[in-house]
Amino acid sequence: MLEKKEDALYEQLRAIVSDMKNLRNPLIEILHQAQKLFGYLPMEVQRFVAEELEIPVNKVYGVVTFYNAFTMKPRGKYVINVCTGTACYVKGAPRIIQMLSEILDVELGETTEDGIFTVTAVRCVGACSLAPVFMVEEETFGRIETRKQLQEIISNYRQKV
């Protein structure tokens, strides 16, 4: 069953690549689409893209590992992006990260066992006035200070699942 679903995803990816193949430098956009499809970019997907685009796989791997937006590990349904830009850092980003990892029992960059949350650090998200800031999907949370506030936000997302 799983295999069938995967096959269908690869077929979709093949179509995406063939649509975009002739654009100038299509690799990054294709990888975005691939990540949307698969949720992450495992080696097999990278090799598939390389083969379909007729470029060596080392080029794909270099790009995937360079950009924060790409991940080679499956991510949770919700990715908590904690801003570690200068302002947020000074205003307590490390503490936010520490609290989140305690509450969710994960290290930075890891995903919870139930596959719901991933905690990652990002550079400045441009909302310094709200520091410390983190984002979940498109939503921004600012000036969070207590463990209780965090627990509340997390349980709200848990309920959505």
Partner 1 sequence: MNVVINGREFPARPGESALSLAQRNGIFIPALCYHHKTGSLARCRACLVAVAGYDELQTACNLPVKSGMIIDTDSEQVKSYQRLIVDLLLSSGEHDCLSCEQNGDCTLQDAAYYLGIEKPSFKLPIPDSTVDHTSEMIVVDRKKCIQCHRCVEACNNTVVNEIITMSERGFQSRISFDDGMVMGESNCVQCGECVQLCPVGALIDKNSIGKGRAWQLEKINTVCPYCGVGCQIELHVNRKSNCIVKVSGIEEAPPNKGMLCIKGRYGLDFVTDKARLTKPLIRTENGDFKESTWEEAVSLIAERFNQIVKDNGNESIAGLASAKVTNEENYVFQKFIRREIGNNNVDHCARLCHSSTVAGLAASFGSGAMTNDINDINKADVILVTGSDTTAAHPVISGRIKKAVRDGKTKLIVIDPKQIALADYAEIYAAQRPGSDVALINSIMQVIIRNDLYDKRFVDNRTEGFADLKTEVLKDKYKPTNVEKITGVTAEKIERIAELFAEGKTGSVFYSMGITQHTTGTDNVKSIANLQMLCGNIGKPGGGVNPLRGQSNVQGACDMGCLPNVYPAYQKVTDAKTKDKFEKFWGKNLSDKAGLTVLEITDGIQQAKIKGLYIMGENPFISDPDQNHTIQALKKTEFLVVQDIFLTETAELADVVLPATTFAEKAGHFTNTERRVQRLNPALRPPGNAKHDWEIIQLIANAMGSDWNYRTVRDITTEINAVAPSYAGITWNRVANNGIQWPCPTIDHPGTAYLHKDRFARGLGLFHAVKFKEPAELPDDGYPLIMTTGRVLEQFHTGTMSRKTKGIENIAKPMVMISVQDAESMGIVNSEKVKVKTRRGEIETNAFVTKRIQKGVIYIPFHYAEAPANRLTIRALDPVAKIPEFKVCAARIEKI
| Nearest distance in Å: CB 24, partner 1 | 14
Q: How far is the CB of 158 from partner 1 (least distance, A)?
A: 32
What is the four-CA torsion angle of 147, 73, 62, 58, rounded to 10 degrees?
170
Given the complex with partner 1, which of 56 and 115 has the nearer CB atom?
A: 56
Contacts of 76 (CB under 8 A, 6+ apart): 111, 112, 115, 116, 117, 118
Distances (CA, A) of 76 to 6, 31, 100: 18, 18, 14
- The H-or-E segment that residue 81 falls in is strand 78-83
Q: Does the footprint of partner 1 cover residue 95 (CB under 8 A)? A: no
The answer to whether 23 contacts partner 1 (rule: CB under 8 A) is no
Site for partner 1 in 37-66 (CB under 8 A): 43, 46-47, 54, 56-62, 65-66
If one asks whether residue 86 binds partner 1 (CB under 8 A), the answer comes out as no
Q: How far from each other are the two terminal CA atoms of the chain, in whole angstroms?
A: 23
Q: Taking CB under 8 A as the criterion, which residues in 99-138 touch partner 1? A: none
**Residue 102 CB neighbour total at 10 angstroms:** 11
| Binding flag, residue 74, partner 1 (CB under 8 A) | no
Contacting positions for partner 1 (CB under 8 A): 43, 46-47, 54, 56-62, 65-66
